[in-house]
Structure 1
Amino acid sequence: MHILLVDDEPLELEQLEHLLKPRFPHWSFCKATDAASALSAAKSQKISLAFLDIHMPGMDGLTLAAELKALYDLDIIMVTAFQSFDYAQRSIRLGVDDYLTKPVIEAELLATLQKYEKWNAKSDTIQQVLRIIHTDYAEKLSLSSIASEIHMSPTYLSRKFLEEMGIGFADYVTDFRMDIAKQLLVQEPDATISAVAERAGFNSQHYFSSLFRKNTGMTPSAYRQQITVRPGG
């Protein structure tokens, strides 16, 4: 997985990478000290997760987050030395996944990253499969089609995926699509549930809504209403 770290202070970048690398040794890290460099990196390779400093000269982190989201779907964690409700509101509306304050404490960082443990595949083969899933989740994905694409037996790929990821291929795809749907519900409040379901890769709104309720205990509409922070609210 390609991870983007953006901060105008090089020392902050080094510290963040130092905290992340031991826990996620198979991730590939790209560092940038300004928004222009960050956007260039994101256009040259698919970024799965970005850590963005809010306060930077020129384009700030929140504006950069919007620019990155316009390129493609990715997870974003904002990092700032300032605790501001306004920043938190704007981050949520942009579909940012989390919000950390400086100085970054290792325990808080690792707690935030628990959901990404499932991205920590050991082999290049499974990293390649994850990249395909994370890029083409809205398309019709099957174990056999991906196995064919990477020239591997479906049976062997199924076993290797379960062995490395601790979850079956189909369940992983469903969980990832569900995470995307949750982001879209917040990021695009005017989108219909049907549109969200389709964009996240579910071919049936009824199936999506049923699965969403089972996963979260509420309907997609109720989730959107509960999570979204509105101006003045």
Structure 2
Amino acid sequence: MNVLIVDDEPLELEQMEYMLQSECPNWKIYKAADANQAHEINQNFSIQLAFLDINLPGKSGLEFGEELRKINQEVDIIMVTACQNFNYAQQSIRIGVVDYLTKPIIESELLSVLAKYKDKQQEKGYSSLIDSSLKLIHEKFNEKISLLTVANQVHVNPTYLSRKFHEEVGVSFSEYLIQYRIQTAKQFLITNINWTISDIAEKSGFSSQHYFSTLFRKIVGISPTEFRERENKSLSSSQ
């Protein structure tokens, strides 16, 4: 499933992304800081689910949501806001919003919203082989885990597992594992400020700090230290 998150607060984007990918790690997450970026993403990808912050710079989340529904009638829209405002709720209903979350987002409330989408996903379903493989990755991502070790655990040939994994999940085993570890590392960087970058690398399952930092910069666009500083600055300014 392709999911769009629109919020002008970087920390909110990262936390929402982490919660979504922790619960539904095979979903493709696209992030935007305003309606213009969101519109560009929607033009390039088929979005099935959108989380829209109401208070955005420029065009509001409600305004963008109304435009999005006209362009993509299949998308489900969930509004996210820190404001309890009846007018917002009325407008949300008018544009066909399926749900409404208030900040700070409570994990149990988000999981309740996600439940029906997970059910839809399960209807499409993974085979028991891939389901077992994903569970092993989520449980042992910080260990020395590889395609071979997982194949041994689920009692199949590694070549066969590799092919089935790519067919069902849409990415290779190694790409999925790296994505999962990077997402976990991003959350560790935010929530464990006393951990060194070496600690983060180790606890996220990377073999060395250098490899972790190089891969992190390649995927995220900035170094782990820069990411931590940016998120801490964003958090401080929002308090």
TM-score by structure 1 length? 0.52
Deviations 1:85-133 (A, max 9, x none): 1100110010000000000000010011111113435659xxxxxxxxx
- Equivalent-residue separation in structure 2 for 1:34 and 1:116 (angstroms): 25
Matched, 1:51 2:51: yes
- Give structure 1 regions of 4+ aligned residues with deviation exceeding 6 angstroms: none
Q: What does residue 66 of structure 1 align with?
A: 66
Q: Indicate the SS of the match to 2:116.
A: helix
Query: Displacement, 1:17?
Result: 0.7
Matched, 1:113 2:114: yes
Structure 1 residues 17 and 122, CA, compared in 2 at 3 Å: closer, same or farther? farther
Q: What does residue 178 of structure 2 align with?
A: none
Larger radius of gyration: 2
Q: What does residue 100 of structure 1 align with?
A: 101
Deviations 1:139-181 (A, max 9, x none): xxxxxxxxxxxxxxxxxxxxxxxxx9xxxxxxxxxxxxxxxxx
Q: What does residue 15 of structure 2 align with?
A: 15
- Equivalent-residue separation in structure 2 for 1:22 and 1:104 (angstroms): 15
Consecutive unaligned residues of structure 2, counting only runs of 5 or more, are 128-167, 169-239
Q: Indicate the SS of the match to 1:21.
A: helix
- Equivalent-residue separation in structure 2 for 1:59 and 1:91 (angstroms): 15
- Equivalent-residue separation in structure 2 for 1:100 and 1:37 (angstroms): 22
- Equivalent-residue separation in structure 2 for 1:9 and 1:119 (angstroms): 30
| One-letter amino acid of the counterpart of residue 8, structure 2 | D
| One-letter amino acid of the counterpart of residue 64, structure 1 | F
Q: How does 1:1-233 map to 2 (within 5 A)?
A: 1-73=1-73, 74-120=75-121
Structure with bigger helix share is 2
Is the contact made by 1:26 and 1:122 (CA closer than 8 Å) also made in structure 2? no
- Equivalent-residue separation in structure 1 for 2:6 and 2:99 (angstroms): 15
- Equivalent-residue separation in structure 1 for 2:47 and 2:64 (angstroms): 14
Q: What does residue 157 of structure 1 align with?
A: none
Q: Indicate the SS of the match to 1:8.
A: coil
| One-letter amino acid of the counterpart of residue 108, structure 2 | A
Query: Displacement, 1:23?
Result: 1.0
Query: Displacement, 1:13?
Result: 0.3
- Equivalent-residue separation in structure 2 for 1:64 and 1:119 (angstroms): 26
The count of residues paired between Structure 1 and Structure 2 equals: 125
- Equivalent-residue separation in structure 1 for 2:31 and 2:126 (angstroms): 23
Q: What does residue 177 of structure 2 align with?
A: none
- Equivalent-residue separation in structure 2 for 1:81 and 1:2 (angstroms): 25
- Equivalent-residue separation in structure 2 for 1:42 and 1:118 (angstroms): 24
- Equivalent-residue separation in structure 2 for 1:4 and 1:123 (angstroms): 23
Measured on the aligned residues, the alpha-carbon RMSD in Å equals: 1.7
- Equivalent-residue separation in structure 1 for 2:12 and 2:47 (angstroms): 20
Consecutive unaligned residues of structure 1, counting only runs of 5 or more, are 125-163, 165-233
Is the contact made by 1:4 and 1:29 (CA closer than 8 Å) also made in structure 2? yes
